[in-house]
Amino acid sequence: MRAWRHPSFVIGGALTLLLCAAALLSLFWQPYPPAEIDIPNKLQGPSLAHWLGTDSLGRDIASQLLVGAQNSILVGVVAVGIGLFIGVALGALAAARRGWVEELVMRASDFTFAFPALLTAIMLTAIYGPGLFLSIVAIGIFNIPVFARITRGAANAVWTRDFVTAARAAGKGPLAITWDHVLPNIANQLIVQATVSFATAILAEAALSYLGLGTQPPQPSWGRMLNEAQTLMFQAPLLAVYPGAAIMLSVLGLNLMGDGLRDLMDPKLTRVR
Amino acid sequence: MLLFLLKRLVTFALTLAVASVVVFAVLEVLPGSAAEVILGDTATPESVAALQARLGLDRPPLQRYLDWTGGLLQGQTARSVSYDTPTAELIAERMHVTLPLALIAMTITMGLALTMGLYAAARHNRAGDVGVMAASQIGIAIPNFWFAILLILVFAVHLQWVSAGGFPGWTEDDGGGLWAGLQALILPAVALALVQAAILARVTRSAVLEVMREDFVRTARAKGLSRRQALWRHVLRNAMIPVLTVTGLQFANLLTGTIVVENVFVLPGLGRLVFQAIGNRDLVVVRDVVMLLAASVVLVNFVVDVLYALVDPRVRLA
């Protein structure tokens, strides 16, 4: 298999598998319940009983990290899902209809870029209070124009191909052509973008949770762990290292896998390396 | 060119107008009125009505929207609920921190990215190139606020060279000074610059590599220029076009990064202002800061569009 010889794909895939495995494992087993408070054992260093030590309330760090992986995956899947579902629909519509529909969709996407996920989250939080759901919505909204643009660009190229002209001559409507011919031909690019957007979503959620706008206690999240660790930097500096490393490795894994997929799925594309 | 500029200007104004409608609609019209947010869950309907009257929220939305945007256009802003100061004054005061921070971060970003990108391109496919590319992959994956925390761990907690946060002020009257102020902004700026530089270094490298394959570079080398001379005189200038575009596109990242990193270092900038405003349920401040941030993203992209057209005539003719 060509994939096994592609270093980015192999390293990225391994890290991504690790993330998924951690989340999956934590569904069935955790060393300790992550929210279990154990004051006598607070701020312990790494040991056999607590692999990565405990935080200021005696909660087990390793367990929190494991369960935090669920959170990151949830955010990634839902936020990318929102972007993918609505964005691809809009992009495909723009490519199928052209004219003013396309112009409207594209201008709306340009416009949405003026509102990075953080700004949307700030506005929503100011009204409804902080929460995981709103931060996912904010990240999802930001993903919509990303996928709309990619879909429209790629779909426009497919619409000019001969087999689409043939399908139109045979009497197929725009919806059927989009479904049968356009989407299968742009799926590769969408998969690559979804991988990269997944990584961005994890980063954005971590930042929002760090700021207190995202995941709320007692649900463990890597971003909030960093926020709590910052107040203890003089007593327990390692607490500020683990969650960040978990975020970095997950994002690195997804980005590398995205790069690898891009190369593997499009052998014609000789990228400038 | 004039027609292009005019078209762009109209798009720019329209985008700003739509942005203001969105901000206004989300913060003032959606269910959960400002008065209810300010007073919290225990508010009685009478107290909500009284506060709405005091804040002028009992007037029709269209009139409030026109008052707000009309005021903004004339440089007049509403008073913050918690500070009882016009938001423009609050924002201007906080800009003394946020603007220098963003500028220093941008300078470090450009310096680092250009050096790294050029170095990698010059050592294409050799160890130096692979090293820079690997480092940049890691740089992109590091959350800026975590990098900020790591910097504090190393330089404030471990080495104790700088304080772990806070801002002494730019003047001696505030208890700070130019040097003390700069010192307080260095670590935050480095934290912000890392991710940006990682992305930009990759763009620089691929742009330089692309231009180096062009015929005019071969001609320059054929007429006797050394590799280095060709790089400086011909390649760099042409490679700058995509680099500048991406720099403009990254501005939104820089802005949101600034908000996050200010909170890590407890710097009294726009980011702190907007977070305190959320805590104080001061929707007037949230509205005006969000509008300012969104407007600056739109403005920078407009400027990049225009610059791009100035540099590359094909854009405005398309």
Question: Chain B residue with minimal CA distance to A12?
Answer: B137
A residues 156-215 closer than 8 Å to B (CB): 199, 203, 206-207, 210-211
Average pLDDT along chain A: 86
Report the half-sphere exposure of A251 (CA within 13 A, side-chain side). 26
Query: Is pLDDT at A39 greater than 80 in this prediction?
Result: no
Q: What single letter denotes the amino acid at residue B34?
A: A
pLDDT at position A271 is 46
Which pLDDT value is given to residue A151?
94
| Alpha-carbon gap: B301 to the closest alpha carbon of chain A (Å) | 9
Q: String of b and e for B177-210 (b: at least 16 CB within 10 Å)?
A: eeebbebbbebbbbbbbbbbbbbbbbbbbbbbbe
Among A21-35, A71-85, A218-232, name the most confident range.
A71-85
d(CA A100, CA B56): 39
pLDDT of residue A194: 94
Q: Please, what is the Cα angle at B251 between A120 and B83, to 5 degrees?
A: 55
Chain B residues within an 8 Å CB radius of A244: 142-143, 146, 149-150
- pLDDT for res A270: 47
The answer to whether residues A111 and A47 touch, using CB atoms and an 8 Å cutoff, is: no
Verify cis geometry, omega within 30 degrees of 0, for the bond prior to A218: yes
Question: What pLDDT score does A272 carry?
Answer: 41
**What CATH superfamily is the domain B88-317?**
MetI-like (1.10.3720.10)
**Minimal-distance CA residue of chain B relative to A222:** B146
Q: For A171-188, how does the pLDDT look when each residue is reduced to its tens digit (9 = 90+)? A: 888 899 999 999 999 998
Would you say residue B220 has pLDDT above 90? no
Beta carbons of B145 and A210 less than 8 Å apart:
yes
Instruction: Specify the pLDDT at position A267.
Output: 58
Q: Do B274 and A233 touch (CB under 8 A)?
A: no
Check residue B37 and give its pLDDT. 67
Q: Which residues pair with B79 in a beta bridge?
A: B86
Query: CA separation (Å) from B109 to B96, B115, B191, B259?
Result: 20, 10, 10, 17
- CB–CB contact B153 A229 (8 Å): no
CB contact under 8 A, A111 and B15: yes
Task: Read off the amino acid at residue A200.
Answer: T
Residue from B28, B87, B146, B150 to probe the interface with A (highest A Cβ count within 10 Å): B146
Percent of chain A with pLDDT over 70: 96
Give the per-residue pLDDT at B109.
93
Q: What is the DSSP string of A68-112?
A: HHHHHHHHHHHHHHHHHHHHHHHHHHHHHH-HHHHHHHHHHHHHH
A235 touches chain B (CB under 8 A): no
| 3-class secondary-structure state, position B301 | helix
Whether A256 has a pLDDT exceeding 90, the answer reads yes
Residue B86, strand partner residues:
B79
Q: Over pLDDT 90: what percentage of chain B?
A: 18
Contacts of B23 in chain A (CB under 8 A): 123
Contacts 24+ apart (CB under 8 A), A85-89: A86/A144, A86/A147, A86/A148, A87/A143, A87/A144, A87/A145, A87/A146, A87/A147, A87/A148, A87/A150, A87/A151, A88/A147, A88/A148, A88/A151, A88/A183, A88/A190
Range of weakest confidence among B6-15, B80-89, B186-195: B80-89
pLDDT at A79: 94
What whole-number percentage of chain A has pLDDT above 90?
39
Global pTM?
0.87
Chain-chain contact of A211 with B157 (C-beta, under 8 angstroms): no
Q: Which amino acid is at B281?
A: R
Structure tokens at A185: 């031909």
What pLDDT, on a 0 to 100 scale, did the predictor assign at position B302? 86
Q: Looking at the partner chain, which of A127, A247, A251 has a beta carbon nearest the beta carbon of B30?
A: A127
Question: Could you tell me which chain A residue has the CA closest to the CA of B279?
Answer: A126
Q: How far does the CA of residue A162 sit from the closest CA of chain B (Å)? A: 26
| pLDDT exceeds 90 at position A94 | yes
Using CB atoms and an 8 Å cut-off, which of residues 2-41 of chain A contact chain B? none
B195 in Cβ contact with B140 (< 8 Å): yes
- Nearest residue of chain A to residue B157 (CA atoms): A234
Which residue is closest to A273 within chain B, CA to CA? B206
Average pLDDT over residues B9-19: 89
> What is the torsional sign of CA A181, A201, B18, B301?
negative
Residue A78: its pLDDT value, please? 95
Neighbours of A110 (CB within 10 A): 15
Structure confidence at residue A1 as a pLDDT band (50, 70, 90):
low
**Record: contact A233-B256, CB cut-off 8 A:** no
For residue B242, the model assigns a pLDDT of: 82
Asked whether residue B81 carries a pLDDT value surpassing 80, the answer given is no
Chosen for mutation from B37, B129, B142, B145 (greatest number of chain A CBs closer than 10 Å) is B145
Pairwise pLDDT comparison (B191 vs B176), residue with the higher score: B191
Secondary structure (3-state) at B126: coil
Q: Which of A76, A66, A61 is nearest to A225 (CA)?
A: A61
Q: Determine if residue B160 is left, alpha or beta; phi over 0 gives left, psi from -120 to 50 gives alpha, anything else beta.
A: left
Cross-chain residue pair B146–A247, CB shorter than 8 Å: yes
What pLDDT is attached to residue A27? 85
How high is the mean pLDDT of chain B? Answer: 84
- Across residues A136-145, what is the average pLDDT? 92
Cβ neighbours of A123 in B, within 8 Å: 23, 26-27, 286, 290
B179: closest CA of chain A, how far (Å): 26
The reply to whether residue A119 touches residue B275, judged by beta carbons under 8 angstroms, is: no
- Give A242: exposed, middle or buried? Use CB within 10 Å, 0-12, 13-18, 19+: buried
A133 touches chain B (CB under 8 A): no
> Inter-chain contact B164–A233, Cβ cutoff 8 Å?
yes
Question: What ipTM was predicted for this assembly?
Answer: 0.87
CB atoms under 10 Å from CB of B7, counted, come to 11
Q: What confidence category does residue A259 fall into, taking pLDDT thresholds of 50, 70 and 90?
A: confident
pLDDT recorded at residue A273 = 41
Give the model's confidence band at B31: pLDDT under 50 very low, under 70 low, under 90 confident, else very high.
low
Alpha-carbon dihedral B236, B142, A71, B264, rounded to 10 degrees: -110
User: How far is the C-alpha of B137 from the C-alpha of A257, rounded, in Å?
Assistant: 12
The string of pLDDT tens digits covering residues B97-156 is 999 999 999 999 999 999 999 899 888 888 888 889 889 999 999 999 999 999 998 988
Q: Does residue B32 register a pLDDT over 70?
A: no
Residue extents of the structural domains in chain B: 15-73, 88-317
pLDDT of amino acid A269: 53
Contact between B256 and A118 using a beta-carbon 8 Å cutoff: yes
Decide: residue B247, CB within 10 A, 0-12 exposed, 13-18 middle, 19+ buried. Answer: buried
